[in-house]
């Protein structure tokens, strides 16, 4: 009989065990993070801790996994129903939380949050194990999504602010970021699932790449 992970094992072979042993911290489970979570889980990564503070509302339903089934429910608690092994932390991720949290036990930290100061604190505290997503909103072309180190990213005003603030703080290290080179289509924070989901799936792919390397 076939098993759930037969197809991914055909690609990874003995390296599949690395996915089973990996310990991942995923910050934010919205339009980007929820697809990253689903991809990790379906690929065989089970030791995943997610952190988010929000509840689902109707505006989430155009782009966030499972949101239409859990309106007004706490996101992390709702997601645990679909991924039973999931560990959850229902907390707002801000700079103070990052400063206080112990990241030491995790192999990778995946940043899918919007808070600029929290992103800066993450870069300074755990850049060696960090993969960070810039904004996926306002865009329509998933083929423009790129992966590079923070200092080679471009085409994103939010990313530009992050680089500027890191320079001001004297930060010179490198870490991996996911960004879009597409010019924003609107000023408002509109979202197209084709882009935000691709950000999340790209984050998952990059995480698996790092797990296999290590």
In a domain, 186, yes or no: yes
In a domain, 188, yes or no: yes
**Local confidence band at 11 (pLDDT 50, 70, 90 cut-offs):** very high
**The domain spanning residue 99 has which CATH number?**
3.40.50.720
Q: pLDDT tens digits, residue range 55-97?
A: 999 999 999 999 999 999 999 999 999 999 999 999 999 999 9
**Local confidence band at 1 (pLDDT 50, 70, 90 cut-offs):** low
- pLDDT over 70 at 181, yes or no: yes
Total count of domains within the chain: 1
For the chain, what percent of residues have pLDDT higher than 70?
A: 99
HSE-up (13 A, CA, CB side) for residue 210: 22
In a domain, 1, yes or no: no
In a domain, 10, yes or no: yes
Task: Answer yes or no: pTM beyond 0.85.
Answer: yes
Residues in the chain: 214
Q: How high is the pLDDT of residue 15?
A: 96
Kind of pairing between the strands at 108-111 and 87-90: unpaired
Per-residue burial over 173-182, b = 16 or more CB atoms within 10 Å of its CB, e = otherwise: eebbbbbbeb
Give 13's contacts (C-beta < 8 A, 6+ positions apart): none
Q: How high is the pLDDT of residue 187?
A: 87
In a domain, 65, yes or no: yes
In a domain, 14, yes or no: yes
Q: pLDDT tens digits, residue range 116-143?
A: 999 999 999 999 999 999 988 999 999 9
In a domain, 22, yes or no: yes
Domain containing 43: what range?
A: 6-213
In a domain, 49, yes or no: yes
């Amino acid at each position: 009989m076939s098993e759930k992970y037969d197809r991914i094992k055909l690609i990874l072979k003995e390296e599949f065990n690395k996915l089973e042993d990996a310990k991942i911290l995923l910050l934010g489970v919205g339009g980007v993070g929820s697809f990253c979570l689903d991809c990790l889980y379906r690929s065989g990564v089970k030791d995943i801790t997610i952190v988010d503070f929000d509840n689902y509302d109707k505006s989430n339903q155009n782009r966030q996994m499972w949101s239409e089934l859990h309106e007004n429910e706490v996101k992390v608690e709702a997601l645990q129903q679909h991924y039973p092994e999931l560990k959850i932390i229902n907390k707002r991720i801000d700079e103070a939380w990052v400063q206080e949290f112990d990241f030491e036990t995790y192999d990778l930290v995946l940043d899918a949050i919007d808070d600029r100061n929290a992103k800066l604190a993450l870069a300074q505290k755990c850049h060696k194990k960090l993969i960070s997503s810039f904004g996926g909103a306002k865009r329509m072309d998933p083929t423009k999504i790129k992966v590079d180190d923070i200092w080679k990213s471009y085409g994103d005003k939010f990313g530009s602010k992050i680089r500027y603030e890191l320079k001001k703080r004297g930060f010179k290290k490198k870490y991996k970021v996911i960004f879009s080179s597409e010019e924003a289509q609107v000023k408002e924070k509109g979202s197209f699932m084709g882009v935000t989901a691709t950000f999340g799936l790209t984050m998952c792919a990059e995480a698996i790449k790092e797990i296999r390397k290590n």
